[in-house]
Each structure stands twice: as C-alpha cells, then as structure tokens.
C-alpha cells in the first residue's frame, strides 16, 4: 500500500503527465489550424462533417463526465456498488462515443476521404484519432478499476487510482469541447 506521501507524488506525477498531454493536443490543434482548408479539390470539412453527429458525440461524452463525477462521490462515500454502477454507466457512454467516432472515420474512409485524401483530413484524423485513442485507454483503465473495486472494495489505493482516472476522463472531455468547437463548428461554418 502506498503511503500518503507516495499517493501525493503519484498525483503530482499524473498532473505533469496531463500537462504533457495538453502540450501534445495544443500542437495537434495548431497543425490542424494550419492545414485546415488544404483539401486540394477534395470535399471540405463543411461538406463532410455532420453537426448532428458531432453534437450527439458531445452530449454523450459530457454525460459520461457527469456519471464519472457521481461515481467519484460514491467512491468518496465508500459505496462500492454505487461506484460500480456509475463507472459502468460512464464506461457504456464512453464506448458509445468511441463507436460513433469510429463509425464516422469508417464513413469518411469508405467514401474515399481518408487521411491520405488531403492535408486537412490528415490533420483531422490525427487530432480526433489521438483523442479517440485516449478514450480507449480511459475505457481500459476504467474496466481494470472496476475489477479492482469488485475484488477489493474501495481502499485508499483504489480511491487514489480512481481520482486520477476521473482527472483523465474530465481532461478528455475538455479536449473534446475544443475539438467540437474548432474542428466541427468552425469546419461546418467554412
């Protein structure tokens, strides 16, 4: 079992990791901003993107952030069953978000608008795909955490891990808000 000092070090280290992720996403947003509109005669973002689909993705992910928050209240209260229920809801919502994102990618690729079609789409697939990869990692982490709660209950160790998971999940929600605004809303407006 880690001591309180070790837990603080893990949490600090995780904040450092989140800041490096923030820098990476900032760089990906910058690349997207520079390459936006470089379609070389291929369809533009406004012709490809579905505002309804992106809005549905956003609502699903924001709802998953809410359910994650409720799960953390349950963890803080030592209510393992409630924590499992709300983490399960968060997992289902995150998986639905990822499935919709992969479906969108599949539609684009099937219509010949994959990452190789233009610089703009290459930047889109890289930015949104990186976020999707982070969601997939978060889902794996969530599944492992749920198994730990099921086996050991809520201990200081599992609680600490869940706090970092919640930070990660909320971070991904914030990144998605920027993706929704900069990529989808601005892309459709062009």
In a domain, 56, yes or no: yes
pLDDT over 90 (residue 85): yes
- Count of structural domains within the chain: 1
Angle subtended at Cα 78 by Cα 87 and Cα 85, rounded to the nearest 5 degrees: 25
pLDDT surpassing 80 at residue 22: yes
| Per-residue pLDDT, 125 | 95
* Assigned token pair, 23: 């820098």
Task: State the pTM of this model.
Answer: 0.91
**Distance, CA of 188 to chain centre:** 22
Q: Is the pLDDT of residue 42 over 80?
A: no
CATH number at residue 82: 1.20.120.80
Range of the domain at 91: 51-107+118-190
Q: Is residue 156 part of a domain?
A: yes
Among residues 139, 182, 157, the alpha carbon closest in space to that of 26 is found at: 182
Considering the domain boundaries, does residue 17 fall inside one? Answer: no
Question: pLDDT tens for residues 140-156?
Answer: 999 999 999 999 999 98
């Amino acid at each position: 079992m880690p001591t309180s000092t070790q837990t603080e070090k893990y949490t600090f280290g995780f904040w450092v990791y989140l800041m490096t992720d923030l820098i990476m996403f900032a760089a990906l947003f910058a690349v997207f901003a520079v390459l936006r509109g470089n379609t070389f005669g291929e369809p533009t973002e406004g012709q490809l993107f579905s505002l309804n689909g992106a809005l549905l993705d956003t609502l699903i992910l924001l709802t998953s952030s809410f359910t994650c928050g409720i799960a953390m209240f349950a963890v803080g209260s030592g209510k393992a069953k409630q924590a499992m229920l709300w983490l399960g809801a968060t997992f289902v919502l995150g998986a639905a978000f990822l499935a919709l994102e992969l479906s969108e990618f599949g539609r684009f690729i099937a219509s010949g608008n994959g990452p190789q079609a233009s610089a703009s789409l290459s930047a889109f697939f890289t930015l949104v795909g990186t976020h999707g990869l982070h969601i997939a990692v978060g889902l794996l982490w969530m599944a492992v955490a749920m198994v730990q709660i099921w086996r050991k209950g809520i201990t200081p160790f599992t609680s600490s891990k869940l706090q970092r998971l919640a930070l990660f999940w909320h971070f991904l929600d914030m990144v998605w808000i920027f993706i929704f605004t900069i990529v989808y809303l601005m892309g459709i407006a062009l």
